[in-house]
Each structure stands twice: as structure tokens, then as C-alpha cells.
Structure 1
Amino acid sequence: MFKTIVVHVDDSPLFDARLQAAAWLANAHEAHLVGCATTGMSWPAYALLTGSMAVTPIDEFESLRVLARGSLARFAERAGQLGVQSLEQRLVEDENRDALLLQARYADLVVTGQDAGDAATVRGLPQYLAMHGVRPVLVVPPAYAGAPIADTVVIGWDGSMQALRAIGGAMPILTRARDVRLALVNPDLQSGLHGEEPGADMALFLARHGVRVEVLGERTLASTGDALLGIVRASGAGLLVAGAFGHSRYREIVLGGVTRVLLDRAPVPVLVAH
């Protein structure tokens, strides 16, 4: 079970979507929900940046604290409305990525929002947390409005270490799900990772944990990311579980990749791990 969940708190108009997902999971697992807001940089860094300017750094930095406290107050009020019984407000005087990486060490799951391009969004935050963090990351799209996450779940299974870690991180959800689809896209291209019957060994592993799982093999000319999103839509899934950045960073940047497609375009929350 998830017992501690950290959600990234900011003043973005898209924050409510990720809070609804975090609250849904906190309620389902009777977990403690930690709202983490940041000043955007540490006090020493801010003092160094503004020391040569005609401002009083401490007064200016206090305004960042005030903004973060306001976001946390809204988090606490909204989380209470969503029925969360155990919650905590945490203000960290640091850059967003470093602050959330630190908080993730003491949680089971980190919840953040999909990159949306608005001024309040920290670009690349989900990818950074997945690449450098020690916990799975739940990335919530702006359109999420509180639908059940654990009714139907799609797992993108390619035999990789990243996918294994994502499955392990998602296990508290998978064991509660009504229906889990283990989706393999063009598994013949990765036969060395799947054994004689692609998906069979992982399905048996999941079944032994009490997961109600069905293997879905998809042979397609579409990209793996697009194929997985198609399976998600066709199955009416509320969650997609996938490994993050299974290829080199160079290939991901230059050619694009499954991770980028899923994190940028998935219509449902995506749980990823690296």
C-alpha cells in the first residue's frame, strides 16, 4: 500500500487536476498526503543573485515564501474538500526539482502534472523526477477530473529494467485494480527479453501477487508510444504504467521516444519509473 504520497503544490491553474489524483490515491490507500511547495530557489542562491541589485534580498525572498504559503493553504483547503484525512503542508526553500527529489526519498509516490506550457509549469519536471528520483512518479494530465485510477490499468511491458521498476512501484494499485492489461507492442522485435511466450512470465508473476491480468499483444506500424495510447483509449483505462527512458538520452532527445509521447500526450495519469 501507499502510506505517504507527495504532491507538487504550486499556483498553476492546472494544480487541481494533480491534487484530485493524489487525493484519490490517498483516500483509497488511507495514505498521508504531503503537499510540497517551494520558493523556487534557496535563500543563499537568491541572496547571491540579488546582492548587487538595488533591492533588499531578505524582503524580496520573503515574498516568495508568502506565495508558497498561499499555495499550501489552498492545497490544504481543497484536499480537505476531497476527503483527505491525513495531510501535511511542507514549504521547502529550494529549486523545485531538488526539493521534490529530496521529499521523494521519504514517500512511496510523487505526484506532479503533465507539462502544459503555462507560465507556472516547471518544464521537464516529470522527466527529471523519473530520471533522477528513487520513487515512482505519477504524471497527471490537465484534463483529469477525479475518475477512478484503479478500475482498468494498462501496463506497457517491454521486458526492460525500467518497466520492471514501474510495475514494482505500481503494485499497490495493480493489486486493487479490477482489470489489468499487460500490453506488448511488437514483442517479436524484443524476443530476447520476453522468452518463448511474450508476456507469459510477467503475467504469471503478477497473478501470483493477486493481480487480475490479461496479456495484450499489439503488432503495428505505429510508434510504441502511439500504440500504447491507443490501447489506453480503447480499453477505457484510468492509468498507464510504463518504464521511463529505456533508450539513451541522446536517442530520446534527437529521435523522440516512448517516454516523451506518454508524458506529453497521455489522456490519463501515467505512472513511470526509471
Structure 2
Amino acid sequence: MKSILLHVADDPCLEARVQTALDLGRSFGAHITFLQPIAYIYSIPIDVYGMSVADMMPEMRAVAGEFRQKLEERLKSEDVRWDWVTVEGPADARILSMVNTFDLLVLGACDPFAHDNHHSSLVADMAVHAHTPVLVVPSEQNGFDCSRPAIVAWDGSAEASRALRAAVPILQRAQSVHLVSVDEDEPGKPYDLPAISGAEYLSRHEIESELVEMHRNELDIAECITNAARGREAGLIVMGAYGRSRLRQNLLGGVTRDMITDPELPLFMHH
């Protein structure tokens, strides 16, 4: 894991994801690219104040420049290699145009434009459209310790398998790894890779793991996974990210949506 892309925006999760990216950069000797999209909002040519988008852009660039200068001053004292890229346009499009040449994309879990207890639309888009693992960081996170226990949410799917493989560099540093399966009581489930297959894969990378089977009872699957992580004092949850169908690929599957809504821990996700 040598190349990290970090989304920069002045939102409540920025400090958490900067600290997390810096810790990962130090742990892996990685280079961090700070990507700052200036996301203007398209509207009618003339708004109620008599200003067009073109009139507003110089002010938006100036604000972005001041923000960049402030954060760059802080980064000069960090012992991590980094660079800064400022682009204009929607954050999702600009991230997708760059992310394929990075090992990890770091995003904040919060969405400043969403209602309370609503998942981030940017995280939702990147979780199913980016071809790079996504690390979703909660606003309360004050750094990232690779040595803490890690949970792998396992259902035998291709998405879970891809997330597991991509997370190996981090899992190799975790003090313990737990493959958590939730009994969904769904006959005819299309996934047939048992948890032991994931454990065998990890063992070939010299990673020992514990197989954990959770029973839903009255809980949602997301609650089961979170409870398993909480009970083991985990510092990370690894999971596949799921869209509902190819025809409705902008909509997240229910478990993915629930997990990225106000998460307690960083989520390492891959579609």
C-alpha cells in the first residue's frame, strides 16, 4: 500500500481522515495525494442575486486557496510524502478520474449536505463505482492503529473476497483477525464460498484468523457486524460493497447502506 488518495473538503470529517491517512502513510511508507475538488453548483445563468456561476468562481477559488494554504502549512511538519492537487468540478467525477492509479481512497463518513443519520452520497457512489478500495472514516476517529484487531464481514461473495484480498497489507499488521459470518437463513443463497476459504487464503499470507458465526435474532446484519467489532475492540471492519443490480447500480444494497450510515469504526470497502 504505497499510494493513497485523500479527498479534501472543509467538512466535519476532514481532521479524522487526514489523521488516518497520515498514520497509514507512516505505517506503510506511502505517498498521500490530497485531492481538493472545487465543486461548484450548476444553476440557471442568473440567480436571484444577479450573479452567475462564472461570477462566483473567483471567490470560490480564493476560499479554496486559503484553505489549501492553511492545511499545507500543517503538512510541512509531517514525516510523510505528499502532494496536493486542486481541480474544479464535482468531487465524484474528479475522484473517479484519478483513483484507478491509487492503492486506497480515503473518504469521510459524514455528508455536510445530508440530513442527520443519512449516509454520505459521495461514499455511496465511490463504494460501488471506484475500482480501488475505499476507507470510510468516521468523524470521531483520531488516527489509525494498524495493530488493533480487525473484523472481516464474510458472506462468501465476490465483493467480500475482493475486499479481503485488498486488505491483506493491513490485516498482516493486526493483532487479530476475525472472519464474521451472519446467519441469514436464506436458502438458495448465490454465494458458496465458506468462511474457511477466506481463512485459508489469509493463512497463505501468514495471517491467523478466527471464524465467528453470528445469529441475527432480531438484529439487522449491520448491527450484528458492528456488535462483533465492538465486542473484540476492533479498529477496522473489512467488507464488500454491494449495489442492488446492474440496472439500479446507483442504489446501495441494504447492508452497505446501513454500515456507512454513521459508522462507529473505519470501514475498508471494495466492490
Checking the alignment, whether the CA contact within 8 Å between 1:114 and 1:142 is kept in structure 2 is yes
Q: In 1, distance between residues paired with 2:79 and 2:107?
A: 17
Measured against aligned partners, the alpha-carbon deviations of 1:79-119 in whole angstroms (never above 9, x if no partner) come to 445x3420111101111111111121221111011124467
- Partner of residue 109, structure 2: 114
Q: Are 2:119 and 2:261, in contact at CA under 8 Å, matched by a contact in 1? A: no
Aligned with residue 100 of structure 1, among 95, 98, 102: 95
- In 2, are the aligned partners of 1:10 and 1:68 still within 8 Å (CA)? no
Q: 1:118 to 1:77 in 2, by over 3 A?
A: farther
Q: How many residues align?
A: 264
Residue segments in structure 2 that go unaligned for 5+ positions in a row = none
> How far is the alpha carbon of 1:171 from its aligned partner?
1.7
1:77 equivalent to 2:76? Answer no
CA distance in 1, matches of 2:149, 2:94: 32
Match of 1:91 among 76, 86, 90: 86
Q: Secondary structure at the match of 2:68?
A: helix
Superposition deviation, residue 130 in structure 1: 1.2
Task: Indicate how the Cα distance of structure 1 residues 20 and 67 shifts in structure 2: closer, same or farther if over 3 A, else same.
Answer: same
TM-score, structure 2 as length reference:
0.86
2:191 matched residue in structure 1: 193
Aligned-partner Cα distance in 1 for 2:254–2:155: 14
Give the drift of 1:51. Answer: 4.4
Identify the match of residue 168 of structure 1 among 165, 171, 177. 165
Q: Given the superposition, is the C-alpha separation of residues 122 and 201 from structure 1 closer, same or farther in structure 2, using an over 3 Å criterion?
A: closer
Which structure has the highest helix share of the two? Answer: 1
Equivalent position SS for 1:99: helix
> Secondary structure at the residue paired with 2:191?
helix
TM-score, normalising length: structure 1: 0.85
Query: Of the candidates 261, 264, 268, which is equivalent to residue 267 of structure 1?
Result: 264
Distance verdict in 2 for CA 1:64–1:208, change over 3 Å = same
Q: 1:224 is matched with which residue? A: 221
1:173 deviates by 0.7
Q: Kindly report the root-mean-square deviation, in angstroms, between the aligned alpha carbons of the 2 structures.
A: 2.9
| 3-state SS, counterpart of residue 261 of structure 2 | helix
What is residue 34 of structure 1 aligned with on the other side? 33
Asked if the contact 2:13–2:110 (Cα under 8 Å) also holds between the matched residues in 1, the reply is no
Closer, same or farther: CA 216–80 of 1 in aligned 2, 3 Å? farther
Amino-acid identity (%)? 29
Residue type matched to 1:7 in 2? L
